[in-house]
Amino acid sequence: MQGIKRRIRSITSIEHITSAMKLVSSAKLRRARNIFERVQDNLRFVTDTIDDILVSVSDVPDAYILGSREIKRTCYVVVTSNRGLAGSFNANIIKEAERLIAKANAPEKPLIVCIGSKGRDYFRKREHEILSEYLLAPEDVTFEEMSLITKEIVGLYDEGVIDELVFVYTAFISTMEQRAVSERLLPFEKKTADTEKSPRQLEHPVDYEPGPEAVFAYLVPKYAEIMLYRTVIESAICEHAARRMAMQNATDSARDMMTSLNLFYNRARQAAITNEITEIVSGAEQVR
Say what the pTM is.
0.78
Asked if 125 and 82 sit in the same domain, the reply is yes
pLDDT on residue 60? 64
* Average pLDDT, 10 consecutive residues per value, the chain (288 residues): 85 89 87 81 73 66 76 90 84 91 84 89 89 79 81 87 90 85 83 48 61 74 84 88 88 89 86 81 72
For residues 224 and 205, membership in a common domain is answered with: yes
Domain check: are 181 and 269 in the same one?
A: no
Looking up residue 198, the CATH number of its domain turns out to be 3.40.1380.10
- Domain containing 255 equals 2-16+248-287
Same domain, 265 and 206: no
- Number of alpha carbons in the 13 Å side-chain half-sphere of residue 89: 30
Same domain, 150 and 236: yes
Integer angstrom CA distances of residue 276 from 167, 180, 194, 234, 269: 69, 60, 89, 62, 11
Q: Is residue 23 part of a domain?
A: no
Residues 43 and 180 in one domain: yes
- Confidence (pLDDT) at 200: 45
- Phi first, then psi: give them for residue 224, nearest 5 degrees: -65, -40
The confidence score (pLDDT) of residue 93 equals 92
Q: Domain count of the chain?
A: 2
Say yes or no: 119 and 174 in one domain. yes
